[in-house]
């Protein structure tokens, strides 16, 4: 659908809605986002597979609302076409800005809010038709992509450090013993909403929700906010596995791997990379975890 077709569809679906302002974001891989009047968010899936995922996502959010997390999460309503196929979902706009654009206070209260959210999300019964995306094959494929596309730009020391990070993780055989949970799957600064004072008040974009290692949902905290705040969040988390065990996987791999996605994206889109600066954070976190 074109942008005009989406807005026309919204007008037909809500004939009494007076549209004063429209924001459109087509940059996401999965959905086109249209925000009307800073009040209502519409998410239009970009293909049928994503539409099916959104239906599952809607059910997940309904179940999570029943657990009453302290943080605001979207409450989707599905709009369907004449063939009963999902056209889009909409929900009330969550006030604030993403932490990526604003500033978060690394306070105990914010850590407590996130710990409560993940405790409740990870406690959900995995009876939804969620996939397990982050399989050993997934991580092996990431490693091969890094080896083939990033290594040609690196010196031997950098290659050795990254090899050690991946191979220690891939050879750990962790996946056979980890009890999988319902996880958010993309709990990064872009999907955490804060208010003007730096307090967290929302979590968005559950598109990547899946059955996976609960430790993965702490990776974004480690990469974006550092080890101390990650430990604070874990101190308020009450899951099936100890905080120490989860943190070990976060600091040794999950909390380090975001850099590789960023670098692969930059290479794919011909974005100039300052390699020393790009890898500085990786080596700092690897050494300080």
> How does pLDDT run across 38-93, given as a tens digit for each residue?
999 999 999 988 898 899 999 999 999 999 999 999 999 999 988 899 999 999 99
Query: Would you place residue 100 in the very low, low, confident or very high pLDDT band (cuts 50, 70, 90)?
Result: confident
Amino acid 96: pLDDT: 92
Whether 3-93 and 108-288 share one fold: the answer is no
Locus of tokens 């306070």? 107
For the stretch 167-211, pLDDT in tens is 999 998 666 678 899 999 999 999 999 998 999 999 999 989 999
Q: H/E element holding 34?
A: strand 31-36
Indicate if the pLDDT at residue 135 is higher than 70: yes
Cα(266)–Cα(186) distance, integer angstroms: 19
Q: Which pLDDT tens digit goes with each residue over 4-39?
A: 999 999 999 999 999 999 999 988 778 999 999 999
What's the CATH code, domain 3-93?
3.30.200.20
User: What is the per-residue burial (b if ≥16 Cβ within 10 Å, else e) of 165-194?
Assistant: bbeebbeeeeeeeeebbbbbbbbbbbbbbb
Query: Could you give the dihedral angle defined by the CA atoms of residues 149, 150, 154 and 156, in that order, rounded to the nearest 10 degrees?
Result: -80
CB count within 10 Å of CB 35 equals: 15
Position 244 scores a pLDDT of 95
Query: Which phi and psi angles does 18 have, rounded to 5°?
Result: -85, 115
φ, ψ of residue 263 to 5 degrees: the values are: -70, -40
Name the DSSP class of 252.
I
Helices (H), 33-155: 48-66, 108-122, 136-145
pLDDT in tens, 248-267: 999 999 999 999 999 999 99
CATH of domain 108-288: 3.90.1200.10
Q: Phi, psi at residue 174, to the nearest 5°? A: -65, -35
Per-domain boundaries in the chain: 3-93, 108-288
From the number of C-beta atoms within 10 Å of its C-beta (0-12, 13-18, 19+), residue 49 rates as exposed
Q: What is the pLDDT of the chain when averaged over all its residues?
A: 93
Adjacent-strand bridge partners of 40: 36, 92
pTM: 0.92
């Amino acid at each position: 659908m074109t942008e005009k077709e989406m807005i026309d569809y919204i007008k037909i679906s809500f004939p009494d809605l007076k549209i004063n302002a429209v924001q459109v974001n087509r940059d996401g891989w999965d959905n086109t986002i249209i925000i009307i009047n800073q009040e209502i968010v519409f998410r239009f899936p970009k293909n049928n597979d994503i539409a099916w995922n959104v239906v599952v996502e809607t059910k997940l959010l309904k179940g999570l609302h029943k657990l009453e997390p302290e943080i605001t999460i979207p409450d989707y309503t599905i709009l369907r076409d004449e063939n009963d196929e999902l056209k889009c979902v909409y929900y009330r706009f969550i006030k604030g800005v993403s932490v990526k654009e604003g500033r978060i206070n690394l306070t105990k209260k914010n850590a407590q809010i996130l710990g409560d959210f993940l405790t409740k999300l990870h406690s959900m019964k995995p009876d939804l038709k969620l996939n397990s995306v982050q399989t050993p094959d997934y991580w092996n494929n990431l490693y091969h992509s890094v080896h083939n596309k990033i290594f040609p730009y690196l010196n031997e020391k950098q290659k050795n450090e990254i090899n050690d990070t991946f191979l220690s993780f891939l050879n750990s055989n962790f996946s056979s013993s980890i009890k999988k949970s319902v996880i958010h799957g993309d709990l990064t600064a872009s999907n955490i909403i804060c208010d003007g004072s730096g307090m967290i008040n929302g979590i968005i974009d559950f598109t990547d929700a899946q059955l996976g290692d609960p430790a993965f949902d702490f990776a974004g905290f480690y990469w974006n906010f550092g080890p101390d705040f990650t430990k604070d969040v874990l101190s308020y988390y009450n899951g099936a596995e100890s905080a120490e065990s989860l943190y070990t996987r976060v600091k040794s791999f999950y909390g380090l791997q975001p850099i590789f996605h960023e670098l692969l994206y930059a290479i794919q889109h011909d974005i100039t990379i300052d390699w020393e600066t790009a890898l500085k954070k990786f080596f700092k976190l690897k050494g300080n975890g």
